[in-house]
């Protein structure tokens, strides 16, 4: 792979020259009134390769200010959150971001610059910098997330008033979602196949994306602006975090390119890749690329990734195709980005035109048991513990726990599960996270709610010995394999020998799966019928009436479930 090798060597082996080192050692370079100064505003896109905003900022400029803003909204510690981190992000994602910023700073220093870090509300900080630095050109990667859409609109308005050029290219995705939506008559395509048909081939695919500039102009005089280096976790207030294990995946462009090369060196694996056939229990060597967090933060260009895959496809006899192929996964990413950008309120059930209105349960105890890995189903709990510790799990593992929370067993609102993933995943991506939760709860995109992941047999199929469970739930490490997925069925003598008494050392199951899954199917059938009858216009009153009816219908079976749960426990004593 000629292009992959050239980029890897440029990025990892490029040593700073004496001139570049001198430039990077001091950012205080006096500007003249006639100088052309530009800002590159980093949010995602934390890379040097394939960064059109950075390259445009460097073109015709005397000084370029690469800026990142530490946003308290995402970064300030929140002592009241259910896990260590801020109000919006767990410590694993914060740590991954800081590592990515350090690597970006290193990459910029190699080409004669450095990263200037500020702290504050991003819009306020950017407008202040534009005022203070005599900026002629503001460059930043286009962002479809509603949070940044609002900030960008404000910054662009100010820039327009002041005669500052704004350059905001689409480089985080393969396609521009606005173009796809326009082609579809103003609405996003809601099936993968219709998206592919509309999108066609990316316009840039025939020419190699940039490996990045060999040099850029340095920052100029920053005056009295309060800039800093990339902060440490301790400097952000996370010095006493009660987390004993962090994600094994380190952030940054360098790590992304190393991992990409490692994955794509196995050309046969790339050619045969089929997403549904991965092993969700493989954790020491995950059965996937683990490139999603690098794509999320833009440490890796999805366009570059796509071209690398295409290069391999040209040189193999046959390969898999979308939707299951490796490049098919990048297209899924664009599909969800487009759907999210073109669908108002896609991050909630109410007011979301593509979402089924379903009277989900409001059971805080069951939800907390799921969130904290205490459901009594080892396969589900081990996955959730991996999420807490690593900030990552295999996509099929995500499917299992999302199904269990919503349509499979607990019938709890997908928004609550979405919030947990949004906080804890290092690759949490607003568009993809919401799209997947809508899909997996059968609220949109996918409607075969009778197809349920078993919290017992699915994991056992991949890992009959339960090694994944033993690693993330050490309380069960000595449980014989015939009981590892259903420890409540182990005789009391076996539990004693395994040093794990069910109900004491490890919880019994919070629901009886067979009964609970049947009940979920019944509820969804009625909810779907209501949505059909109302032609998608289900009112809050309609949902309240259906919820009451479902609860009344469930009263007698509920007692039976309670007795069955108790029997599951007592039979093992």
Q: Which residues are annotated as a binding site?
A: 288-292, 329-336, 427-429
Listed in sequence order, the residues at least 6 apart from 495 whose beta carbon sits closer than 8 Å to its beta carbon are 487, 501, 502, 572
Q: Which residue has the tokens 């203070």?
A: 132
Q: How far apart are CA 207 and CA 191, in angstroms?
A: 29
Binding residues for FAD: 288-292, 329-336, 427-429
Residue 26 CB-density burial (10 A; 0-12 exposed, 13-18 middle, 19+ buried): exposed
CA 24 to chain centre: 33
Question: Which residue, among 350, 375, 371, has the nearest Cα to 416 in the 3D structure?
Answer: 371
70, containing H or E segment: strand 63-70
Q: How far apart are CA 142 and CA 172, in angstroms?
A: 8
Q: How far apart are CA 321 and CA 273, in angstroms?
A: 9
Whether 495 contacts 487, CB under 8 Å: yes
Residue 62 CB-density burial (10 A; 0-12 exposed, 13-18 middle, 19+ buried): middle
Listed in sequence order, the residues at least 6 apart from 452 whose beta carbon sits closer than 8 Å to its beta carbon are 403, 407, 408, 517, 520, 521
| 3-state secondary structure string across 14-69 | CCCCHHHHHHHHCCCCCCCCCCCEEEEEECCCCCCCCCHHHHHHHCCCCEEEEEEE
Q: Which residue has the tokens 């196995």?
A: 266
Whether 376 contacts 508, CB under 8 Å: yes
DSSP summary character for residue 167: E
Radius of gyration, alpha carbons of the chain: 26
Q: How far apart are CA 150 and CA 157, in angstroms?
A: 11
CA 152 to chain centre: 22
Q: How far apart are CA 308 and CA 573, in angstroms?
A: 57
DSSP summary character for residue 476: G
Q: How many CB atoms lie within 10 A of CB 492?
A: 12
């Amino acid at each position: 792979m000629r292009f992959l090798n050239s980029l890897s060597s440029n990025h990892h082996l490029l040593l700073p020259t004496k001139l570049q080192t001198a430039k990077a050692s001091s950012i205080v370079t006096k500007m003249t009134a006639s100088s052309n100064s530009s800002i590159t505003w980093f949010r995602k896109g934390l890379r040097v390769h394939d960064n059109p905003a950075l390259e445009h900022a460097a073109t015709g400029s005397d000084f370029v200010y690469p800026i990142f803003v530490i946003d308290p909204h995402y970064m300030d510690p929140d002592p009241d959150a259910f896990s260590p981190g801020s109000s919006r992000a767990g410590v694993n994602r914060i740590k991954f971001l800081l590592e990515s910023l350090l690597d970006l700073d290193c990459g910029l220093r190699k080409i004669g610059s450095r990263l200037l870090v500020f702290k504050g509300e991003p819009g306020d900080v950017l407008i202040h910098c534009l005022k203070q630095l005599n900026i002629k050109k503001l460059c930043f990667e286009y962002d479809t997330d509603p949070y940044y859409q609002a900030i960008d609109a404000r910054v662009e308005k100010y820039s327009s008033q002041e005669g500052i050029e704004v350059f905001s290219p689409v480089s985080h995705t393969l396609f521009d979602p606005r173009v796809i939506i326009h082609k579809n008559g103003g609405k996003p395509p809601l099936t993968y196949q219709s998206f592919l048909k509309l999108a066609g081939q990316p316009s840039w695919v025939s020419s190699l994306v940039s490996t990045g500039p060999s040099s850029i102009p340095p920052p100029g005089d920053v005056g009295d602006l309060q800039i800093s280096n990339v902060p440490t976790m301790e400097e952000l207030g996370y010095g006493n975090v009660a987390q004993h294990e962090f994600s094994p995946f380190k952030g940054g462009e360098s790590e992304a390119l190393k991992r990409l090369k490692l994955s794509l060196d196995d050309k046969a694996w790339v050619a045969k890749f089929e997403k549904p056939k991965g092993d969700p229990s493989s954790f020491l060597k995950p059965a996937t690329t683990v490139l999603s967090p690098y794509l999320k933060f833009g440490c890796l260009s999805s366009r570059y990734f796509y071209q690398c895959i295409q290069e391999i496809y040209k040189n193999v006899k046959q390969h898999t195709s979308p939707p299951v192929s490796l490049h098919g996964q990048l297209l899924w990413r664009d599909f969800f980005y487009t759907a999210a950008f073109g669908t108002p309120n896609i991050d909630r059930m109410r007011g979301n035109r593509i979402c089924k209105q379903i009277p989900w349960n409001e059971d805080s105890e069951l939800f907390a048991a799921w969130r904290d890995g205490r459901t009594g189903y080892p396969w589900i709990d081990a996955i959730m513990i991996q999420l807490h510790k690593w900030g990552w799990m295999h996509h099929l593992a995500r499917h299992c726990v999302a199904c269990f929370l919503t349509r499979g067993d607990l019938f709890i609102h997908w928004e609550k599960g979405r919030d947990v993933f949004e906080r804890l995943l290092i690759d949490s991506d607003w568009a993809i996270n919401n799209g997947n939760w809508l899909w997996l709860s059968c609220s949109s995109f996918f409607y075969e709610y009778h197809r349920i992941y078993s919290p017992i047999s699915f994991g056992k199929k991949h890992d009959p010995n339960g090694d994944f469970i033993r690693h993330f739930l050490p309380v069960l490490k000595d449980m014989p394999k015939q009981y590892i997925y259903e420890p409540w069925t182990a005789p009391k003598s076996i539990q004693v020998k395994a040093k794990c008494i069910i109900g004491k050392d490890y919880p019994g199951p919070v629901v009886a799966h067979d009964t609970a899954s049947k009940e979920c199917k019944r509820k969804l059938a009625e909810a779907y019928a209501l949505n059909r009858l109302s032609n998608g216009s289900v009112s809050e009153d309609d949902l309240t009436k259906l919820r009451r009816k479902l609860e009344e219908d469930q009263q007698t079976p509920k007692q039976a479930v309670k007795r069955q749960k108790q029997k599951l426990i007592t039979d093992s004593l």
